[in-house]
Structure 1
Amino acid sequence: MRPYRVLLVSHYYPPHLGGIENVVRQEALHLAALGVEVTVLTSGERAGTETADGVRVVRVAAWNGVERRTGVPFPVLSPALLGSALRWARWADAVHLHDCLYPTSWAAGAAAALTRTPHLVTQHVGLVEHPSALVRGVQRAVYAVAGRPLLRRARRVLTLNASVADFVRRHGARTERVEHLPNGVDTALFRPTESASARASARARFGLPAGRVLVLFAGRLVPKKGFQLLLDAHSPADGYELVFAGDGDSAALRGRAGVHHLGTLAPEALAEAYRACDVFALPSTAEGFPLTVQEAMASGLPVVTTDDPGYAPYRLDREQVRLVPRQVDALRTALADLAADEPLRARMGRYSLDCARTSFDWTQHARRLLTHYQDSRG
């Protein structure tokens, strides 16, 4: 009997850096480890096929100028996309689309319909409140025209939090087919620091100061992530300094006292940045439970993030994870309190680590995915 075949579809895939691409890579690796035959359909600077760690990656040539010019991660793919999608949808037992906003998902969804291959959707986010009215309008149009039929036809729609679950139901997903499925986290890579000396060494490698409380932000420097709120809330007198890992509007960081910018980091370097810092802060909007929060928790850091209804399914202890309003004063108070209270940081960090180890296991995630794939053929 041949192995079960799955086509994973994502607009980007490593080495391109980002949350969705990291999720797809982990799913691909863990499904392959379970004996599934996995092909990933994605974009690339050049067309080609590669195989590594038991995963076949098919790249369709794409122009990435939209992201370079505007910061919006939206590749423009060559017309060869539909032919590739048809070929691999015909090969697959199930097609798994990641987010219905992108051309890769549109093409693969159409190919799945034409080949009568069941498709599933993981919807990572809802409508992003981008500062550009044009970008917001394009999002709404895409979800109405392309997203709605993809969600409506999907055998399963997998969501990471309650906010996105509401979003997909409003955009056509059948209520009985919407399932909550948390992402996993690589607890071998993202782990607590081993000692004070190891933390000091990590800081030295990044050129970060010793003897100061460091608050880490990891993500793109774009409005929805809330990096400007952190800057507005920060004062060196509050006893901590800010560390930003990510690219985007970096001009806002320059020349500010107690602010350090590490740029975009590969996963191994990002894991070390977590271990170099004392607190993680992400005042983002409409993200629910993003991967960086999970990575920070696996690294044993106390977390300060936005009080988003998307966290509800996770039943977090609000004494141990600070879910605050997306306001400068609330951030300032939460971060100043943590900077001044080392026992509180230690207690919240222990809770983070325990939560990550018990709730965010990639192997269990892959097993649940495989069950959804197999059920979708019924």
Structure 2
Amino acid sequence: MRTPPERPLRVLLVCHYYPPHVGGIENVVRHEALHLARRGAEVTVLTSGSRSGTDDGSDAPGVRVVRVAAWNGAEERASVPFPVLSPRLLFAALRWARWADVVHVHDCLYMTSWAAGLAGAATRTPHVLTQHIALVEHPSALVRGVQRAVYAVAGRGLLRRAGRVLVLNSAVAAFAVEQGARPETVCHFANGVDTELFHPAGSGADRDRARERFALPKDRVLVLFVGRLVPKKGYDLLLAAAESAAGTAAGPGFDVVFVGDGHEGRAEEDRPGVHHLGALPPDALAEVYRACDVFALPSTAEGFPLTVQEAMASGLPVVTTDDPGYAPYELDRDHVTLLPRDVEAVRGALTALAGDLRARGRAGDYSRRYAVAGFAWEEHANALLRLYGDVLGGVPQTTPAGPGDRERTPAEAR
């Protein structure tokens, strides 16, 4: 191994955004950094920022965060999360790749990843790559074309050289191999979730207090959506389902709560029964989960996104798209609603849950049990350390891996 026995393992985590920027990948990286540091690793995070600088680790003890100044116009103007970083990025990547024993890159679509891949190759520092998603079916042909070009050029080299390529589901695994990853390096590896922060409301009074904080009605069933307000996430589909339900004789029986960026300028969607809370930090988001009754995410091509894990940890029934990526997790379809990406199917499922308190209770209890057993961050970090050791020691691993158990499915691990 590269790591001298007299010092801790040095890990460089690379991500296009990092908290306080709000988003799923950045939350995953923050938790990985914090839990790796708690296990004795020295951790540096390379990411973008409004200006260049280094955080002191006060937010995540033991974690150094190196930020390189970036322009975020693509996200602000077109909801495309793609920061354009200053030329200092490559120098920072070279410095910290030389310092590290292993580089862990999150997704290969971003400038931070390209720079870290080049720096790792130049310094002969092995790298691990977590590929979170496949191609995003964005409505813009330009965005789709740029994605394909990036994967064909920068992505192919990153995937090919990676000591391990970690994926959340079989669809992303197939995509990674198609784009150049060596099949023997591709491992199934679920994200973790903070089951202490994300937990069910302790009582009806706790739920009511959470609703008061966010000015949500106490006398309605609340269906929660968390994510960017874009078609890929199913935002428009869920709005249409609520509108369709409102047109029935019995009415919708539920309100919809949206948490995420992208509502600005959509005043026509501020109507009765629809509540927009904007993007929220993790503590506030956890409280919104506790304020609501059902979680809905009719997204496409995501597999098992972090927001579904958070909802399950919060004890909410889940209604989401029947994506092939859920197959390895062996979810009980009597308690998790997996359905076609269709307005009427979503409307029917939400209306049924809104009218059946006992069904919501059974599904919510199942969600919580599943999350606690399968998504703990502590075991996620332990599995990462074992995986880094394999990469540094040159030990081949061909069995698909998941946190804490490399040969069992999440259902078996429970």
TM-score interval, smaller chain: over 0.9
Structure 1 equivalent of residue 72 of structure 2: 64
Letter in 1 for 2:47: T
CA contact under 8 A between 1:253 and 1:259: conserved in structure 2?
A: no
* Structure 1: gaps spanning 5 or more residues: none
Distance 1:249 1:221 in 2: 7
Moved over 2 A (4+): 252-257
Do residues 264 (structure 1) and 279 (structure 2) align?
Answer: yes
CA contact under 8 A between 2:263 and 2:278: conserved in structure 1?
A: no
Aligned counterpart in structure 2 of residue 368 of structure 1, from 368, 380, 383: 383
Distance 2:118 2:12 in 1: 14
Other structure's SS at 1:352 match:
helix
Letter in 1 for 2:20: P
CA-CA distance at 1:169 after TM superposition:
1.0
Do residues 9 (structure 1) and 28 (structure 2) align?
Answer: no
Distance 2:294 2:185 in 1: 37
Distance 1:342 1:126 in 2: 37
Do residues 273 (structure 1) and 288 (structure 2) align?
Answer: yes
Structure 2 equivalent of residue 142 of structure 1: 150
Structure 2 equivalent of residue 31 of structure 1: 36
The 1:117/1:361 distance shift into structure 2, 3 A limit, reads same
CA-CA distance at 1:247 after TM superposition:
1.6
Structure 1 equivalent of residue 260 of structure 2: 246
Aligned counterpart in structure 2 of residue 121 of structure 1, from 126, 129, 137: 129
* Structure 2: gaps spanning 5 or more residues: 1-5, 395-414
Aligned counterpart in structure 2 of residue 293 of structure 1, from 308, 315, 336: 308
Higher deviation after alignment, 244-253 or 228-237: 244-253
Other structure's SS at 1:164 match:
helix
The 1:289/1:253 distance shift into structure 2, 3 A limit, reads farther
Other structure's SS at 1:376 match:
helix
Structure 1 equivalent of residue 317 of structure 2: 302
CA-CA distance at 1:144 after TM superposition:
0.5
Letter in 2 for 1:255: D
Give the TM-score, by structure 2 length. Answer: 0.90
Alignment of structure 1 residues 207-222 onto 2, 5 Å: 207-222=215-230
Do residues 327 (structure 1) and 342 (structure 2) align?
Answer: yes
Distance 2:67 2:376 in 1: 28
Do residues 44 (structure 1) and 69 (structure 2) align?
Answer: no
Other structure's SS at 2:89 match:
helix
Cα RMSD of the aligned pairs, angstroms, is 0.9
Other structure's SS at 1:238 match:
coil
CA-CA distance at 1:372 after TM superposition:
1.1
CA-CA distance at 1:272 after TM superposition:
0.4
Do residues 54 (structure 1) and 62 (structure 2) align?
Answer: yes
Higher deviation after alignment, 109-118 or 250-259: 250-259
CA contact under 8 A between 2:51 and 2:70: conserved in structure 1?
A: yes
The 1:215/1:253 distance shift into structure 2, 3 A limit, reads farther
Distance 2:194 2:385 in 1: 19
Distance 1:134 1:249 in 2: 23
Other structure's SS at 1:329 match:
helix
- % identical equivalent positions: 69
The 1:253/1:315 distance shift into structure 2, 3 A limit, reads farther
CA-CA distance at 1:50 after TM superposition:
1.6
CA-CA distance at 1:51 after TM superposition:
2.4
Higher deviation after alignment, 58-67 or 93-102: 58-67
Distance 1:156 1:309 in 2: 22
Structure 2 equivalent of residue 20 of structure 1: 25
CA-CA distance at 1:252 after TM superposition:
6.5
Instruction: Provide, for residues 166-198 of structure 1, a one-character-per-residue CA deviation record: whole Å limited to 9, x for no partner.
Output: 110111111111001111100111000000011
CA-CA distance at 1:253 after TM superposition:
5.9
Aligned counterpart in structure 1 of residue 298 of structure 2, from 283, 288, 303: 283
Distance 2:164 2:267 in 1: 42
CA-CA distance at 1:257 after TM superposition:
2.3
CA-CA distance at 1:162 after TM superposition:
1.5
Letter in 2 for 1:115: T
Instruction: Provide, for residues 186-230 of structure 1, a one-character-per-residue CA deviation record: whole Å limited to 9, x for no partner.
Output: 011100000001101111111111111000001110110001111
CA-CA distance at 1:244 after TM superposition:
0.5
Distance 2:278 2:86 in 1: 30
Alignment of structure 1 residues 74-89 onto 2, 5 Å: 74-89=82-97
Aligned counterpart in structure 2 of residue 91 of structure 1, from 92, 99, 112: 99
Letter in 2 for 1:78: S
Letter in 1 for 2:308: V
Instruction: Provide, for residues 330-374 of structure 1, a one-character-per-residue CA deviation record: whole Å limited to 9, x for no partner.
Output: 101110110010000000000000000000010111111111111
Alignment of structure 1 residues 183-222 onto 2, 5 Å: 183-222=191-230
CA contact under 8 A between 2:263 and 2:276: conserved in structure 1?
A: no
Letter in 1 for 2:68: V
Give the TM-score, by structure 1 length. Answer: 0.99
Other structure's SS at 2:56 match:
strand
Other structure's SS at 1:285 match:
coil
CA contact under 8 A between 1:253 and 1:261: conserved in structure 2?
A: no
Other structure's SS at 1:217 match:
strand
CA contact under 8 A between 1:222 and 1:249: conserved in structure 2?
A: no
